[in-house]
Structure 1
Amino acid sequence: MATKTLARGMGTFFKECPCKAPTRCPHPYKIRYRDATGKQREESGYATQDKATTRLTELYQAKKGSQKAGPSEGEKIGVQTLEDFASNWIAHRARGLKDNSVESYERALTLHIIPRLGSRKVGTFTANAVDNFVGDMVLDDVGSAAQTNAYKVLRLVINSARHRGGLSLDPFLDTTPPDYQRKDILIPTLEELNLIRQHAHDDDLRLVVEMMSGCGLRNGEAHATNINGLVAADVYRITDQIHGRQRIPAPLKHRDWGEFRETPMPAKTRAHLMRHAETHSPDQLGYLMTNGGRGGAGVGGSPYYSGNAFRHKWQKTLGAAGITTRYTMYSLRHFFASNCLAMGIPITDVAEWMGHKSIEVTYRIYRHLMPSSIGRAARLLNAGI
């Protein structure tokens, strides 16, 4: 039977049989058409012309509908700039994150990722683009901790786009992540710490110095120093921190409200805290550092200190003490860790006291400070045999 063609683009139907009257023979009809990709297809098994043409009509309408349909979600994401996609990503991601994590992600995006990669289309990311990004940060003397965080955030953003169809290949499979260099870990000596104590004339700054160097607190945790944290003569309980941007109490890093950690409190640190409490009365919640609103009430009239409140006074103190090494206030926390490890305290305990998410974090940062144990182990084993 000769092939019969319907309207343009709809396809054809026919029979492949030797019958003289194919329209009345029992053999089924076949149809031939082109799918949405332009590839020719055939189907068989249609008992009548009506059924064959009905099927061709359905296929034609479906093809026309797919041609009229807009781009998929993945295609839309692929042509977005990284800046546009990341702004939506952080807005949705923030719902499930702690405030301090959101702040860390936003800082990485604002300071490092968007200025270098913001105009690039999401679907064009390759391993070479990621490696160039890391290389640019190195050339710009970005600190290794900031490099690591920016790399992590970029990977989270790109993975989100990839899982939604924005790009097909993982550009991070063949990249080299930045190294967290130990050279960034600057630790003051005890002599330098004493000089800092001597020249820190601001009472609140001095309390921060003592709490960070004596108990290993983070900056925001030191800003939240609380008289109620003295749960024993030699133990300080850390229950919260002051959120740097909003200047309000917030849960500890890696913890929810109600969760806490405890750290040993040296007698010297406790004595200084008690002296501070005698001359600076705690507020109703027990917080000792409530002068952060001086010179302006700040966000919501908060009396607490912002994250960088002491930066100027810290630099002035270092200058007065004659210290030229570029220590940050976080160096005081490093002093606590190095002091613990030098005294032979197990790194597992140090990791717990410092509030690290895992012992691997502590080990990566402070492995070079741990006294070598292989010689000591050999001596102990020799004594045992």
Structure 2
Amino acid sequence: MASVFQKCKTDEKNRNFPCAKNRCGHSWTVRYREPGGRGGRQREKSFGTRREASDYGIRVENDKREHAYLDPELGKILVRDYAEDWLSRRAVKDTTRANYVRFIELHLGPHLGGKPLASVTSRDIEVLLKTWIEEGLSRRTVYHTLMIPLRSLFRSAVTEKRIPESPVAHIVVPKIKTKRLDEKSLPDGKAVRAIADEIRPSWAISVWLMAGCGLRIGEALAVRGADFEAGHVRLRRQFVRVKRAGGYKAELAPLKAREEGEWRDVPVPTSVLAAVRLHVERHGVGDEGYLLHAHHGGEVLDSNYRTEFKAAVRRAGYGDEPWTAHTLRHFFASSAIAGGVSLLEVSRWLGHSTIQITADIYGHLTPDAGGRLRSVMDQVLTGASVVGADHEDRAGSVLTTGAE
């Protein structure tokens, strides 16, 4: 059990010993052992009054019985040091690790890095989020991207019994609405063809893969000639840009929202298949069979590709348009949906983790949805089963039925 006493009356080494006053005003000490019985480390903590010391001793003993005891020394580690240790123990993809390193170095460290872990409060987190936004970060980046490692970091600290609860746990994060695609901002088929004509000839096939199949940039860069079969392309991996010693490198990684070994099959238009065959005849394939390759045969870095794509947009005469390589993926999705392809199918071929993502971005593009709804409801309400029947003639029966 924890003991409460005054050192001024019991410790000969105390500068106030011996103290003869009953109400001397000297500090009170709590002495207790950490969990582990007699083998537990002995600790002491001083308070200004006997009541404070007694309350603390009772709380410590209760925490020990309920296995909720926290070693105060563990919470003294600085946030920056704990974050680095936390990340070193995470089994994550290289791209995720690189993103977390940037999070710690650029966003977390400068603001909270010097604070002891146990001293961080919910107010500190609220101020941190507000500061990030004031520094120019978008609300989507703050409330979605950066909150992921922030929550995980403090959740681990709770699990390791460094802090009693996460200061992030009770933070109310506003829901960020997915931005609907403005189809009027997209290129048409003529513009897509013009861009393909102006981009580096050996990379032109990428334009057709992204516009005709909805591939992401990293997926298009990782397509091999052997991936095409029976009118489909099987996507297994994507190239991601990772910082290594000596600069950035293109490395293979699992598809987005998928684990290692999972794949996605996408139908390939006949015109794109013909373009693939022509590309192989004219430009060959890279060292590992990739359709897109650098002059030396190696992988193409996505940053180099983006630069070349923007230059091709300018050369094609569309320099005033905010088009990026990812715009071609939007072109694919909007064209498919406008042509009557279901959201479910488009979602599967785009590789979205849920159909809700597809619906939020492209759902408003479904062709003549209002017209189909009117036709269905007219049939249900009036009993008309023949297309083109005069529903106005049946309106009276609907109203009459309602009046009765």
Q: Give your verdict on TM over 0.5.
A: yes
In the alignment, structure 1 residue 380 sits paired with structure 2 residue 376: yes
Q: After superposition, what is the alpha-carbon deviation per residue over 1:287-317, rounded to whole angstroms, capped at 9, x for unaligned?
A: 12231757xxxxxxxx112231223222322
SS at match of 2:215: coil
SS at match of 1:249: strand
Task: Work out whether residues 81 and 119 of structure 1, in 8 Å CA contact, stay in contact via their aligned partners in 2.
Answer: yes
Q: RMSD in angstroms over aligned alpha carbons?
A: 3.6
In the alignment, structure 1 residue 344 sits paired with structure 2 residue 330: no
Question: Quick one: distance in 2 between partners of 1:268 and 1:363?
Answer: 28
In the alignment, structure 1 residue 88 sits paired with structure 2 residue 85: yes
Distance change in 2, residues 1:127/1:287 (3 Å) = same
The aligned counterpart of 1:279 is: 282
Question: Shift of the alpha carbon at 1:378?
Answer: 3.4
In the alignment, structure 1 residue 360 sits paired with structure 2 residue 359: no
Question: Quick one: distance in 2 between partners of 1:349 and 1:259?
Answer: 18
The aligned counterpart of 1:79 is: 76
In the alignment, structure 1 residue 243 sits paired with structure 2 residue 246: no
Question: Quick one: distance in 2 between partners of 1:205 and 1:282?
Answer: 11
Q: After superposition, what is the alpha-carbon deviation per residue over 1:52-71, rounded to whole angstroms, capped at 9, x for unaligned?
A: xxxxxxxxx959942179xx
The aligned counterpart of 1:327 is: 323
In the alignment, structure 1 residue 203 sits paired with structure 2 residue 198: no
Q: Following superposition of structure 1 onto structure 2, how do residues 1-385 of structure 1 map, counting pairs within 5 Å?
A: 37=30, 62=38, 65-67=41-43, 75-93=72-90, 95=91, 97-143=92-138, 145-147=140-142, 148-170=144-166, 171-177=168-174, 179-182=176-179, 188-190=186-188, 191-200=190-199, 202-233=200-231, 235-245=232-242, 246-283=249-286, 285-291=288-294, 303-320=298-315, 321-370=317-366, 373=369, 375-383=371-379, 385=383
Task: Work out whether residues 337 and 343 of structure 2, in 8 Å CA contact, stay in contact via their aligned partners in 1.
Answer: yes
Q: After superposition, what is the alpha-carbon deviation per residue over 1:316-347, rounded to whole angstroms, capped at 9, x for unaligned?
A: 22333333233332222222222222223222
Report the more deviating stretch, 127-136 or 310-319.
127-136
Percent identity at matched positions?
A: 24
Q: Which runs of 5+ in 1 are unaligned?
A: 1-7, 11-34, 40-60, 295-302
Structure-2-length-normalised TM-score: 0.67
Aligned residue-pair number: 320
Question: Quick one: distance in 2 between partners of 1:360 and 1:189?
Answer: 25
Tell me which amino acid in the other structure corresponds to 1:90.
Answer: L
Question: Quick one: distance in 2 between partners of 1:379 and 1:152?
Answer: 46
Task: Work out whether residues 216 and 326 of structure 2, in 8 Å CA contact, stay in contact via their aligned partners in 1.
Answer: yes
Distance change in 2, residues 1:131/1:351 (3 Å) = farther
Q: After superposition, what is the alpha-carbon deviation per residue over 1:161-211, rounded to whole angstroms, capped at 9, x for unaligned?
A: 2222333333242322462551798952215434422332x1344222222
Distance change in 2, residues 1:329/1:110 (3 Å) = farther
SS at match of 2:304: coil
SS at match of 2:89: helix
SS at match of 1:244: strand
Question: Shift of the alpha carbon at 1:227?
Answer: 0.8
Distance change in 2, residues 1:284/1:91 (3 Å) = same
Question: Shift of the alpha carbon at 1:242?
Answer: 1.9
Question: Shift of the alpha carbon at 1:36?
Answer: 8.4
Task: Work out whether residues 144 and 178 of structure 1, in 8 Å CA contact, stay in contact via their aligned partners in 2.
Answer: no
Report the more deviating stretch, 126-135 or 147-156.
126-135
Structure-1-length-normalised TM-score: 0.70
